[in-house]
């Protein structure tokens, strides 16, 4: 009999299916609020001006292998973005390794944590969360526990705290540094402090999924506030998993960084060695082009300056689109309270509409939305926001 005789079909990833449906639709009014990719005011993918400048610099860089841990000039500058003013950084206590974007960073973090400490068993994630957290951490052999996160348009702080207090001590806990995906609701600073206190008390290990640093507010330092609170104020060890997919628009280049902020230089040296080991076992060496581009953006002062501007361009377009959508729904008198659209931040918003309404949006209005009712705000712009609001208005009435 075949080796595959008892293999079972695994349904395709839902969000990639939404994009597939959108691409196959020939209606000129079609709108894609599914996938979380930034679009400019004309609904087109945007190559950041800073990235264009960097590409000119790296045009002749060649195609040699990188070292196992990746491009050193990129790793150092990317880590500095997050850690620059911390003692962990100035004292050389941060281990880093280039990764296959944010997903690869989380994967290496999980692998390295297991190797460093085989007693780590459980991973805590939020419910809802980015759809890959559960799959990724359970694939690594973690028992995944979901902490309730969201209720009627907002972060459900009491339920989250109760579940956190009840969760096993010593768990790995995945935290969204900012711009929680999919809800767009982040804890306030005061709430972060309470969360951090419980995490410290219960000797949990924080893994900061940081896919939106700089993209959320337009300012990396502001978006990294929670990270620095944990490692600088509470002197905790933590992993920070960075992605340059959104913040530099380098989605397909798969450029990211996994970091461990540790308690000593010695531990950082050990964790660097473990990261190299798990990198070698999985991808051998990371891809070079994205690292060169991101490295050139971060290391060339005038390009870095342009990038700071580009972050503001993207985050302010998303913010103003939120406002337009909200105002349009108000103008139409669409039943329901839509204020959460302007209270949430980041790429995503949670509309809270039903699966039947999502289906109707697609069939009648050619609007493609994740089945969770999450919308990617970046998919909206001047020319389709009114159409989108009208369609929403029709389906919720």
Is 102 among the residues that bind ligand PMP (CB under 6 A)?
A: yes
To ligand PMP, the closest distance from the beta carbon of 346 in angstroms equals: 9
Q: In what order do the strands lie in the sheet with 238-243?
A: 94-100, 255-261, 238-243, 205-210, 172-176, 122-127, 143-148
- For the segment 309-338, give every residue that binds ligand PMP (CB under 6 A): none
The total number of residues shown for the chain amounts to: 397
CA 384 to chain centroid, in Å, comes to: 25
Nearest to 267 by CA among 223, 220, 202, 205: 205
Q: Would you count residue 32 as binding ligand PMP (CB under 6 A)?
A: no
Min separation Cβ 283 and ligand PMP, Å: 13
As given in the structure block, the two tokens for residue 77 are 């500058």
- Could you give the CA distance from residue 16 to residue 13 in angstroms, rounded to a whole number? 6
Query: Scanning residues 256 to 275, which ones bind ligand PMP (CB under 6 A)?
Result: 256
Smaller CB distance to ligand PMP: residue 179 or 325?
A: 179
- Could you give the CA distance from residue 273 to residue 397 in angstroms, rounded to a whole number? 58
**Choice between 102 and 249, CB closer to ligand PMP:** 102
CA torsion, ordered 361, 38, 291, 106, to nearest 10 deg: -50
Contact flag: residue 223 with ligand PMP (CB under 6 A): no
Q: Give 130 or 230: the residue with its C-beta nearer to ligand PMP.
A: 130
CB 198 within 8 A of CB 388: no
DSSP 8-state assignment for residue 39: B
Residue 181 is a binding residue for ligand PMP (CB under 6 A): yes
Q: Which stretch binds ligand PMP (CB under 6 A): 62-70, 95-103, 115-123, 306-314?
A: 95-103
Per CB under 6 A, the segment of 50-58, 97-105, 117-125, 329-337 that binds ligand PMP is 97-105
36 binds ligand PMP (CB under 6 A): yes
Q: In the set 89, 130, 205, 307, which binds ligand PMP (CB under 6 A)?
A: 130
- Residue 101 interacts with ligand PMP (CB under 6 A): yes or no: yes
Q: Does 245 bind ligand PMP (CB under 6 A)?
A: yes
* Closest distance to ligand PMP from the beta carbon of 129 (Å): 7
Distance of CA 359 to the CA centre of its chain: 26
The stretch near ligand PMP (CB under 6 A) out of 21-29, 69-77, 98-106, 230-238 is 98-106
Q: Closest separation between CB of residue 211 and ligand PMP, Å?
A: 4
Q: Does 290 bind ligand PMP (CB under 6 A)?
A: no
Q: Any contact of residue 287 with ligand PMP (CB under 6 A)?
A: no
Q: Does 209 bind ligand PMP (CB under 6 A)?
A: yes
What's the CA gap between 126 and 62, in Å, rounded?
A: 42
Stretch that binds ligand PMP, among 55-63, 101-109, 198-206, 270-278 (CB under 6 A): 101-109
Q: Does 89 bind ligand PMP (CB under 6 A)?
A: no
How many CA atoms within 13 Å lie on the side-chain side of 35? 17
Query: The tokens of 41 are what?
Result: 């005011």
- Rounded CA-CA distance 59/62 in Å is 8
Could you tell me the two tokens for 341? 């659209």
Measure the CA–CA gap between 330 and 223, rounded to whole angstroms. 30
- At residue 142, the 3 state secondary structure works out as coil
Q: Which is nearer to ligand PMP, 175 or 389 (CB)?
A: 175
Gyration radius of the chain's alpha carbons:
21
Q: Is 329 helix (H, G, I), strand (E, B) or coil?
A: helix
Residues 159-178 that bind ligand PMP (CB under 6 A): 176
Select the span of 58-66, 96-104, 148-156, 196-204 touching ligand PMP (CB under 6 A).
96-104
Q: Is 188 helix (H, G, I), strand (E, B) or coil?
A: coil
The nearest distance, CB 318 to ligand PMP, in angstroms, is 14
Pairing of strands 150-151, 154-155: antiparallel
Strand partners, 241: 209, 258
276 binds ligand PMP (CB under 6 A): no
CA-CA distance, 199 to 74, in Å (whole number)? 31
Would you count residue 103 as binding ligand PMP (CB under 6 A)? yes
Q: Residues 98, 177, 183, 243: which binds ligand PMP (CB under 6 A)?
A: 243
Residue ranges that bind ligand PMP, judged by CB under 6 A: 36, 101-103, 130, 176, 181, 209, 211, 243, 245, 251, 256
């Amino acid at each position: 009999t075949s080796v595959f005789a008892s293999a079972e079909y695994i349904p395709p990833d839902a969000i990639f299916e939404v994009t597939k449906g959108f691409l196959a639709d020939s209606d000129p009014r079609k709108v894609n609020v599914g996938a979380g990719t930034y679009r400019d005011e004309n609904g087109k993918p945007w190559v950041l001006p800073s990235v264009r400048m960097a590409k000119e610099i790296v045009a002749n860089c060649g195609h040699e292998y990188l070292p196992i841990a990746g491009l050193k000039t990129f790793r150092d500058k990317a880590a500095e973005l997050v850690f620059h003013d911390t003692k962990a950084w100035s004292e050389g206590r941060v281990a880093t390794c280039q990764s296959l974007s944010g997903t690869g960073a989380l994967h290496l973090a999980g692998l390295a944590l297991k190797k460093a400490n085989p007693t780590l068993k459980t991973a805590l994630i939020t419910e809802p969360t980015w759809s890959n957290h559960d799959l990724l951490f359970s694939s690594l052999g973690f028992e995944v526990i979901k902490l309730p996160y969201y209720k009627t348009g907002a972060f459900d702080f009491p339920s989250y705290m109760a579940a956190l207090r009840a969760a096993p001590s010593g768990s790995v806990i995945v935290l969204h540094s900012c711009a929680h995906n999919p809800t767009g609701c982040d804890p306030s600073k005061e709430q972060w402090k309470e969360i951090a206190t419980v995490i410290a008390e219960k000797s949990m290990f924080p893994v900061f999924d940081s896919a939106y640093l700089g993209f959320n507010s337009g300012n990396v330092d502001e978006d990294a506030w929670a990270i620095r609170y944990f490692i600088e104020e509470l002197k905790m060890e933590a992993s920070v998993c960075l992605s340059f997919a959104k913040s530099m628009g380098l989605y397909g280049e798969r450029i990211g960084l996994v970091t461990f902020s540790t308690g000593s230089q010695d531990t950082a040296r050990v964790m660097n060695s473990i990261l190299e080991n798990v990198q070698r076992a999985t991808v051998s060496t990371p891809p070079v082009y994205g690292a060169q581009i991101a490295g050139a953006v971060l290391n060339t002062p005038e390009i870095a300056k342009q990038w700071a501007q580009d972050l503001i361009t993207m985050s302010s377009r998303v913010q103003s689109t939120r406002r337009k959508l909200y105002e349009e729904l108000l103008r139409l008198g669409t039943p329901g309270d839509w204020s959460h659209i302007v209270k949430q931040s980041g790429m995503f918003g949670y509309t809270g509409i039903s699966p039947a309404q999502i289906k109707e949006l697609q069939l009648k209005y050619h609007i493609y939305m994740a089945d969770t009712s999450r919308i990617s705000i970046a998919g909206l712009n001047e020319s389709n926001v009114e159409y989108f609001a009208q369609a929403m208005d029709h389906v919720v009435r």
